[in-house]
């Protein structure tokens, strides 16, 4: 039974802080299970006071009437494990290490000392041709943190990262393939704008194990998005949120800093069938094709299929813009050949589809596109089903003029 083996899995050890400054760190809570009733009896009723209290996130969830009782889960590990979606020990162990890496990155991007990395980290040749997209020091450090965690898990055969020119072969018998963008939006960190990490997870193609390492590494990473077994993003913002899907629903877990656990705060996210927000860089309006300009002009005047006027919200951080769209509906887009199919478009399209939305390049379903290059770029439109359907009805919505990259 998965529940009987979960405690024996080799999860990374939690980091303990020694002598925390009480002026900086919150008090230590003796926690009860997430969103359960506090069993403390009132001193006025003659009973003893039970010192166990809910964590702040659990208290907030009670106030927000989160249906944790019906979901039956509390932490990400519990959801994946006992009585949950039964993803298997290997994937549970892998996500335990991804959790650990995400918490280290969250601490790194929030550190007042991360700017010093600009002078301390040497950036070599990563195969990225655009100066604007050259990796920042924090990208490199985040990449190394995740690679180390994947190695330690023993469950990953090959990893491909946006920061590396070629895939990294890790172990011959690892059951999984991981593709990732280790730190999306890192150029915004100095302005304290949200950033994020994106993961996609596939099964290793055992039928090509006989091929040379470089060849099988590349082919494993060029699987169609329809073959994803799991995908996730981690948002580093006012809260650290890990949003994941294992093929059945999309769920978000918020990091509780008092326990170090990711607690389920958004079970079974369902993106509204239509939103009232569009997210795109309006400054490029005059480079857009006629179809896209007509679509944006129409919806913001309230003359589209939805009678209300749309509002614009644009952070220029893909994970942050996507997270808002997933919760509130609408459409988040980059009409240029800018975003990478393997590391960004496929995992996020998987997540939005499992939440009832759509991922498109303006013409085709993202998850049906077969990658042909590791760093292949394309336009990306993510959001509510009806909004994407209406956008595609305008035909020419992919920007070809001044794309910023070779098309």
The residues annotated with a catalytic role in the active site are 131, 139, 162-163, 181, 183-184, 344
Q: Computed from CA positions of residues 50, 51, 55, 59, in that sequence, does the dihedral angle turn out positive or negative?
A: positive
Q: Which residues of 332-360 are buried (b: 16+ CB within 10 A; e: fewer)?
A: bbbbbbbbbbbbbbbbbbbbbbbbbbbbb
Closest C-alpha among 281, 254, 278 to residue 265: 254
Rounded CA gap, 330 and 352, in Å?
12
Q: For residue 204, which phi and psi values (nearest 5 degrees)?
A: -65, 140
- If residue 279 lies in a helix (H) or strand (E), which one and from where to where? strand 277-279
Rounded CA gap, 233 and 196, in Å?
7
Closest C-alpha among 288, 405, 386 to residue 339: 405
Instruction: Give the rounded distance of the alpha carbon of 223 from its chain centre.
Output: 19
Cβ contacts of 249 within 8 Å, gap of 6 or more: 267, 268, 269, 354, 355
Closest C-alpha among 191, 95, 180 to residue 142: 180
């Amino acid at each position: 039974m998965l529940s009987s083996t979960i405690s024996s899995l080799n999860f990374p050890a939690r980091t303990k802080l020694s002598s925390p400054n009480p002026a900086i760190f919150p008090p230590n809570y003796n926690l009860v299970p997430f969103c359960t009733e506090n069993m403390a009896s009132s001193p006025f009723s003659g009973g003893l006071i039970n010192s166990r209290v809910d964590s702040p996130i659990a208290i907030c969830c009670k106030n927000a009437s989160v249906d944790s009782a019906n979901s039956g889960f509390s932490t990400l590990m519990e959801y994946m494990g006992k009585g949950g979606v039964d993803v298997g020990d290997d994937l549970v162990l892998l996500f335990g290490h991804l959790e650990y890496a995400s918490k280290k990155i969250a601490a790194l991007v929030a550190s007042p000392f991360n700017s010093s990395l600009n002078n301390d980290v040497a950036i070599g040749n990563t195969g990225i041709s655009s100066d604007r997209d050259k990796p920042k020091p924090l990208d490199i450090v985040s990449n190394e943190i995740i690679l180390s965690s994947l190695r330690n898990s023993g469950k990953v055969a090959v990893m491909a990262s946006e920061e590396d020119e070629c895939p990294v072969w890790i172990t011959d018998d690892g059951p999984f393939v991981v593709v990732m963008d280790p730190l999306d939006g890192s150029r915004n960190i100095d302005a304290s704008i949200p950033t994020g990490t994106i993961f996609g997870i596939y099964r290793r193609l055992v039928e090509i194990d006989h091929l040379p390492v470089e060849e099988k590494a590349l082919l494993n990473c060029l699987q169609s998005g329809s073959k994803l077994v799991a995908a996730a993003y981690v948002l580093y913002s006012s809260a650290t949120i890990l949003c994941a899907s294992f093929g059945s629903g999309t769920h978000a877990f918020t990091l509780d800093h008092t326990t170090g656990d990711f607690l389920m705060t958004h079970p079974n996210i369902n993106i509204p069938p239509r939103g009232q927000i569009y997210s795109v860089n309006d400054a490029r309006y005059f480079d857009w094709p006629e179809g896209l300009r007509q679509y944006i002009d129409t919806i913001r005047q309230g003359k589209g299929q939805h009678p209300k006027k749309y509002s614009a919200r644009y952070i220029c951080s893909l994970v942050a813009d996507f997270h808002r769209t997933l919760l509130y509906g609408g459409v988040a887009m980059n009409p240029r050949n800018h975003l990478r199919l393997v590391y960004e478009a496929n995992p996020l399209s998987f997540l939005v589809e499992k939440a009832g939305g759509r991922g498109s390049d303006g013409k085709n379903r993202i998850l049906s596109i077969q990658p042909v290059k590791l760093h292949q770029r394309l336009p990306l439109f993510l959001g509510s089903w009806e909004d994407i359907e209406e956008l595609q009805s305008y035909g020419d919505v992919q920007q070809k003029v001044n794309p910023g990259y070779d098309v």
